[in-house]
Structure 1
Amino acid sequence: MSASGVRRLADRLDGARMRIRALPGGTIAWRVLVTLVGVAIIVLGIILLPLPGPGWLIIFAGLGLLATEYAWASRLLQRTRRYVLAWTRWAARQSLFVQFLIGLAGLLVVGSALWLAWWLVS
């Protein structure tokens, strides 16, 4: 999706949010809807964590959705972004050997998750 397409989608969602909030009880209904969808997205991400793929990305997307309505979710998302950025910068400053060990540890985690998923299914 292009940047202009994303902008149009965001404008439509903002319009829908304003129309729903203008209704009697609309503010509560919108917040309940955002909460249910955000929690469902986070649960889906947690379910997908043991599998190789975008489990964490899905969790952060759900947290981002919750951050549109809740200050605590916004603070948690900002804190998480800072930690990820700090970790990425730290890893980039390390020697090639340490970067290799970090990658190997990541592969071991993914391999263990795959083995565990296979063992649970079998």
Structure 2
Amino acid sequence: MILRVSVAIAGLAVVALGILLIPLPGPGWFIVIGGLAIWAVEFTWAKKLLNFTRRNVRAWTSWIGRQPLPLRSVIGVVGLIFVAAVVWASVKVSLDIDLITETRNVFGW
């Protein structure tokens, strides 16, 4: 029982940290999956969810690898735009700084 509770608490701490880091650039999702792996040591539902996640990440990676370079480039650009939007929104909400306005002011646009 002590092991089960310890695994539950450790997994919860890691997942919570990962969720807090998701909006920021960095390994937020990786940390969430790490917490899920900790839970999978003791909980069957977490093991099933972890296997499902691994299968789908591998399928997505394989599918991307089979696509022509122009499509992969478009997917990459869309990903970068998404990350930029998340960074902009995170800075705007947490620090009340509009990066677009600040950039315009720096360059005099």
TM-score band w.r.t. shorter chain? 0.7 to 0.9
Instruction: Show structure 2 runs of 5+ residues with no match.
Output: 97-109
Q: Shift in Å at residue 112 of structure 1?
A: 0.8
Counterpart Cα distance in 1 of 2:22 and 2:79: 13
Q: Report the 3-state secondary structure (helix = DSSP H, G, I; strand = E; otherwise coil) of the residue aligned with 2:79.
A: helix
Counterpart for residue 69 of structure 1: 42
**Superposition misfits of 4+ residues, deviation over 2 angstroms:** none
Q: 1:69-110 CA deviation, whole Å, 9 max, x = no partner?
A: 001100110011000000000001101111001101110111
Counterpart for residue 92 of structure 1: 65
> Is 1:119 paired with 2:92?
yes
Counterpart for residue 81 of structure 1: 54
Q: Report the 3-state secondary structure (helix = DSSP H, G, I; strand = E; otherwise coil) of the residue aligned with 2:26.
A: coil
Aligned residues: 95
Q: 1:34-74 CA deviation, whole Å, 9 max, x = no partner?
A: 10110110011011001111111100100000000001100
Instruction: Show structure 1 runs of 5+ residues with no match.
Output: 1-27
Q: Report the 3-state secondary structure (helix = DSSP H, G, I; strand = E; otherwise coil) of the residue aligned with 1:69.
A: coil
Please show how residues 1-122 of structure 1 align to structure 2 within 5 Å: 28-120=1-93, 121-122=95-96
Q: Which amino acid aligns with 1:66?
A: W
- Could you tell me the percent identity over the aligned residues? 44
Pairwise CA RMSD: 0.7
Counterpart Cα distance in 1 of 2:29 and 2:60: 15
Q: Report the 3-state secondary structure (helix = DSSP H, G, I; strand = E; otherwise coil) of the residue aligned with 2:5.
A: helix
